[in-house]
């Protein structure tokens, strides 16, 4: 149980294009999902909190117009990196909080984005 | 403010040795959760354990054990008889409910 999927697992795109990453909780409902960014050999940095049916809450320093988050259902959240640039290249990880699991966050396998 | 400190950046051991990973946290809240996650080279974070602030009982799961000491704000993790498959980055995290991660400890187990 408590499986979170992420798609795609990796993506290479040209500078200026937009990339959408999907995060799904497969066997539980998640009213809250989180998006993290991780640079090589560093810890996870929380980008935003995604709540089903409402606007996402972004952490300080994260551009909300750059990183669009939509949480349209209890099992799906999407992160769109708009007008991607090489500095957006990173490992993006989502997590879903199991409402009945005492605040435990289960993580997706991550998406490696490379912007050329 | 909340903060998680994992003072050990890297630990290298030979297979079958025991490994203890330190985690010290700071928070003014009385209700919180502590977590350990494992991140193998594939990148996916694997949930290992959750402990709430009111439960100081130590826990053992197979070769893994955890020692929660509220008096010293520590939540240490021990791998007994380490194996090569234990090689990974291990993160300690504090939830209030947003997760604050420590910097991670890279464990390398050599055959």
Q: Write the pLDDT tens digit of every residue in B26-82.
A: 999 888 999 999 999 999 999 999 998 998 888 889 999 999 999 999 999 999 999
As given in the structure block, the two tokens for residue B46 are 């694997």
Q: Give strand pairing partners of A5.
A: A24
Looking at residue A1, its pLDDT comes to: 66
- Band of the pLDDT at A19, cuts 50, 70, 90? very high
Backbone torsions φ then ψ of B13, nearest 5 degrees: -135, 165
* Cβ contact B33–A103 (<8 Å): yes
- Band of the pLDDT at A102, cuts 50, 70, 90? low
Mean pLDDT, residues A67-81 taken together: 92
Q: Which residue has the higher pLDDT, A68 or A1?
A: A68
* Cβ contact B33–A44 (<8 Å): no
| pLDDT at A61 exceeding the cut of 70 | yes
Mean pLDDT score across all residues of chain A: 92
Q: Give contacts of A47 with chain B, Cβ < 8 Å.
A: none
Residues B105 and B99: their CA atoms lie apart, in Å, by 17
Mean pLDDT, residues B79-105 taken together: 94
State how far residue A101 is from chain B, nearest Cα, in angstroms: 10
By the CB < 8 Å criterion, does A42 face chain B? yes
| pLDDT at A100 exceeding the cut of 80 | no
């Amino acid at each position: 149980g408590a499986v979170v999927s992420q798609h795609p697992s990796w993506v290479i795109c040209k500078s200026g294009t937009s990339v959408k990453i999907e995060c799904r909780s497969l066997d539980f409902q998640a009213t809250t999902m989180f998006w993290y960014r991780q640079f090589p050999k560093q810890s996870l940095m929380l980008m935003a909190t995604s709540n089903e049916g409402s606007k996402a809450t972004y952490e300080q320093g994260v551009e909300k117009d750059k990183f669009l988050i939509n949480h349209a259902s209890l099992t799906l959240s999407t992160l769109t990196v708009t007008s991607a640039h090489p500095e957006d290249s990173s490992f993006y990880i989502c997590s879903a909080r199991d409402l009945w699991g005492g605040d435990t966050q289960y993580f997706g396998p991550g998406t490696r984005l490379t912007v050329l | 403010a909340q903060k998680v400190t994992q003072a050990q950046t890297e630990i290298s051991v030979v297979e079958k040795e025991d490994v203890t990973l330190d985690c010290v946290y700071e928070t003014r809240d009385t209700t919180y959760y502590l977590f350990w996650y494992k991140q193998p080279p594939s990148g996916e974070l694997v949930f290992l354990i959750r402990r709430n602030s009111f439960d100081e009982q130590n826990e053992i799961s197979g070769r893994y054990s955890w020692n929660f000491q509220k008096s010293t704000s520590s939540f240490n993790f021990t791998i007994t008889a380490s194996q090569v498959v234990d090689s990974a980055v291990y993160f300690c995290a504090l939830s209030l409910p947003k997760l604050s991660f420590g910097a991670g400890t890279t464990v390398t187990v050599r055959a």
